[in-house]
Amino acid sequence: DIVMTQTPLSSPVTLGQPASISCRSSQSLVHSDGNTYLSWLQQRPGQPPRLLIYKISNRFSGVPDRFSGSGAGTDFTLKISRVEAEDVGVYYCMQATQFPWTFGQGTKVEIK
Amino acid sequence: QVQLQESGPGLVKPSQTLSLTCTVSGGSISSGSYYWSWIRQPAGKGLEWIGRIYTSGSTNYNPSLKSRVTISVDTSKNQFSLKLSSVTAADTAVYYCASWFRRDGAFDIWGQGTMVTVSS
């Protein structure tokens, strides 16, 4: 299985300041079809996960532009340019390049 | 706008079979644009992908659960289902159904989730 490792596991952030989450995969996530199936999900307290970013850097419909994704191969990053109160929650990276699909362990973003 | 809703018993006895259904509304489960998946999350823990099904009935399962899992689709009811046999307390979790949008290559829509407890 591809192991997804996120750092940090907890990120206390001041409102209006940036936040960054790293996700590293144990193998390259480049699929044989040329796509890299790395996505980022946000899970607010008591809510189901919500898609933020797909294929490394594409913002899903309705996602604020303060969220951005980058990376390639085995190293990926989610950045929040200016954290707002509604951004509190747990963020997961996920790979769908190889079965079984796997998730990172999650990074908790909280306000200082 | 596609919406998903899980349903099924909230309590299952050990060694029995967990059965859940996901009802798709606002769209057709027969759409070739989607795969339909189950994911679970134990309390306070991370997400685990269980498996997926296509409208044709083709499936892929997580090997860690494969011997106990069956995912099926009922196009006439616009539903897909999960069966997990021989459950133990370790299967206690919130179970989510989700749609995988093939164009985006990601889970774009999630159900609200349903809590299943395995206990006698």
B112 — pLDDT class (breaks 50, 70, 90): very high
**Quick one: pLDDT at residue A71?**
98
Inspect the interface and report whether the beta carbons of A94 and B96 lie closer than 8 Å: no
Please provide the average confidence, as pLDDT, over all residues in chain A. 98
Is pLDDT at A96 greater than 90 in this prediction? yes
Q: What is the mean pLDDT of residues B33-46?
A: 97
Q: List, in sequence order, every residue forming a beta bridge with A70; answer none if it has no partner.
A: A77
Nearest to B106 among A1, A39, A48 (CB): A39
The stretch B65-92 carries a mean pLDDT of: 97
Angle at CA A40, nearest 5°, toward A92 and A42? Answer: 60
Beta-sheet strand order (sheet of A4-7) = A4-7, A19-25, A75-80, A67-72
Task: Report the pLDDT value the prediction gives residue A64, as an integer from 0 to 100.
Answer: 98
Q: What average pLDDT does the segment B95-107 reach? A: 96
Q: How confident is the model at residue B31 (pLDDT cuts 50, 70, 90)?
A: confident
Count A/B contacts: CB-CB distance under 8 Å: 59
What average pLDDT score do residues A11-35 get? 97
- The confidence score (pLDDT) of residue B93 equals 98
Please, is A109 exposed, middle or buried when counting C-beta atoms within 10 Å of its C-beta (0-12, 13-18, 19+)? buried
Q: Which residue is listed with tokens 């290559």?
A: B105
Token pair in block for residue A2:
């591809």
Residue B1: per-residue pLDDT: 87
Q: What's the DSSP call for residue A87? A: G
Q: What is the mean pLDDT of chain B?
A: 97
Find the CB nearest A37 among B64, B105, B111: B105
Given this model, what pLDDT does residue A104 score? 98
Rounded mean pLDDT, B2-9: 97
8 A C-beta contact, residue B97 and residue B111: yes
CB contact under 8 Å between B106 and A37, yes or no, is: yes
Task: Give the mean model confidence (pLDDT) for residues B83-105.
Answer: 97
CA dist., res. B69 & res. B82, Å (int): 7
Give CA–CA dist B44/B31, Å, rounded: 34
Give pLDDT tens digits for B49-59.
999 999 999 99
* Residues of chain A contacting residue B40, judged by C-beta atoms under 8 Å apart: none
Mean pLDDT across A60-78: 98
pLDDT at B87: 98
> What's the pLDDT tens digit per position in A81-92?
999 999 999 999
Q: Are the C-beta atoms of residues B76 and B52 closer than 8 Å to each other? A: no
Handedness of CA A53, A75, A82, B98 (dihedral sign): positive
Which residues in B have their CB inside 8 Å of a CB on A?
46-49, 60-64, 96, 100, 104-108, 110-113
